[in-house]
Amino acid sequence: ALRGARSALFCDSLELETYHIWDQKLWDRFAERFGYRLEDCLQQIDNDPDLLFDYRTIVAEAIQTEFFEEFTAICHEHGTWSRVQCHGTPSDLLAAYAVVDIPESEALLFNPPFSRIAASAAALAQRPVVSAETFTCIYGFVTLKNYEPLRYWHREQVADLKLLADALFAQGVNQIVWHGMPFNGVDGPNEFYASVHVAPDSVFAYELPAFNGYLENVSALMKIGQTASRLAVYLPNEDNLRLQRIPPEDRTPGANYLWEMRHVVVPRETEPFAPLWISPWFLKQADMVDGGLQVGGCRFSALLIDVAWLDGDALAHIDRLSEQGLKVILRREPQVPGKRPRRDFSALLERVRARASTFTDLNQAQLAPLVSGVDLPPFWARQTSDTLFVFFAHPLAREVKYPMRYGLSWYQGFTTRQISIDFLGQQYPIQLVFEPFQSLLVSVSAARGVEFVDIRYQPSLPLPSL
């Protein structure tokens, strides 16, 4: 199976019971890591957020080193890449996605903004490909209490599928993996309730060659160069590791805990700066280079922190970088999590707060946005040494969420946005004109100015509803 061109071994999301997940060899590791015995506190785990944080931290570290890193090592031993969905584990998702070769997200049981986590890890760790299991349960998940999605089964609309794919491209995905066609054996065709029906009898079978061509074209273009970003945003991992289950009214199928990070989105006001998530794992590796925060191939103008709880070691790294000139936007005063936190946390925090390079508001930092304008559409940017490529999803892509409304892509008329792109010290004013069902890809360079790359694909006219 592994002969011929290099391939990848795939690990799906870990759909396992994580409540009190544990291994006997972690008892001593926990005691060494935190300075107390977890056995003495078992009855309090569910009612003590700081104890819960310590417990989940040691589990996350074990999963990181003994599963994700080990799986990738095994793949390399066999001459393959590791392609992994790291979600489903109580871990630092950024760190987990960073140690695999191809981080893979998922949609639509995970809303499109979730993919920014995998895409951020890929950018920071210099991984060229970000894949996504796509078109899963787009109109809903069939259960004994919810038959509504069956109305749309075998009636999926390519215009809706394209809108979802474009929403993912605007979150950094550059490789679409169809979740739709099951393996068919000699006994006849199979169907799967949780996916778009892809088969010779699909209602949109005649559209598949052109649609797949579009996905392939945009995916290739969004692999050019490297991700462009101006702002690092601290992922609120500590906040969510201290919490328990998602409120019932906010759960989607398969969603249980807040640490899954399905709900986490970058603040809207950061979008002009093409933000990437960052976590302690990357801050430890970061340096200040020419006045910017350098992590892997990314260089940021500033770090924004908007969390209630901040790891003490992460704060120590932030203090080091701040002392070297990093602009820090500290939107609120965080506390330190854990039963036995760093004793110098308050002193470190005060030092960071007292510096002239620390601000409480993003506007105070006077950063230059990558893209400026009113009501920006979702976008993702890639750059080479002399050219910037920006994919702008149709503004309707912002409305894509689980469950997707049937016919959401249906739209009459044109939508315009007046924007300006800042690249290599020069401003490029551009009018974006979105035709129905179309997204845009803009290239900017000093030599050629502004050009619109042809990515046009026209799906069949969708029904607005059934």
- Contacts for 45-50 with beta carbons within 8 Å, 24 or more apart? 45/20, 46/244, 48/339, 49/242, 49/243, 49/337, 50/242, 50/337, 50/338, 50/339
Residue 47: HSE in the Cβ half-sphere, 13 Å Cα cutoff: 4
Sheet holding 379-383, edge to edge: 226-227, 379-383, 387-392, 440-445, 449-453
Q: Enumerate residue ranges in the chain where pLDDT < 70.
A: 1, 180-183
Q: What per-residue confidence (pLDDT) applies to 1?
A: 66
Q: What per-residue confidence (pLDDT) applies to 20?
A: 87
Q: What percent of the chain has pLDDT over 90?
A: 85
**Separation between Cα atoms, residue 240 and residue 291, nearest integer Å:** 32
Q: Is 216 helix (H, G, I), strand (E, B) or coil?
A: helix
For residue 244, give the DSSP letter: -
Q: What per-residue confidence (pLDDT) applies to 81?
A: 97
Would you tell me the crossing angle of helices 312-323 and 345-354 to the nearest 10 degrees? Answer: 30
Q: What per-residue confidence (pLDDT) applies to 181?
A: 67
Q: What one-letter code names the amino acid at 216?
A: E
Question: CA dihedral in degrees (78, 80, 85, 89; nearest 10)?
Answer: 30
For residue 257, give the DSSP letter: B
Tens digits of per-residue pLDDT, 321-342? 999 999 999 999 999 999 999 9
Q: What per-residue confidence (pLDDT) applies to 392?
A: 99
CB 305 within 8 A of CB 328: yes
What residues contact 183, with CB distance under 8 A and at least 6 apart? 190
Tens digits of per-residue pLDDT, 353-365? 999 999 999 999 9
First to last CA, the chain: 44
Which whole-number Å values give the CA distances from 216 to 40, 152, 223, 286, 362, in the listed order?
A: 55, 26, 11, 34, 37
User: What mean pLDDT value characterizes the chain?
Assistant: 95
**Separation between Cα atoms, residue 87 and residue 238, nearest integer Å:** 16
For residue 376, give the DSSP letter: P
The string of DSSP codes covering 30-70 is HHHHHSS-GGGGGGGGGG-HHHHHHHHHHHHHHHIIIIIHH
Which whole-number Å values give the CA distances from 367 to 225, 230, 304, 327, 359, in the listed order?
A: 23, 8, 12, 10, 12
Here the tokens at position 135 are 């078109």
Q: Is 380 helix (H, G, I), strand (E, B) or coil?
A: strand
CB count in 10 Å sphere of residue 61: 17
Tens digits of per-residue pLDDT, 383-414? 999 999 999 999 999 999 999 999 999 999 99
Here the tokens at position 119 are 């895409």
Q: What per-residue confidence (pLDDT) applies to 27?
A: 96
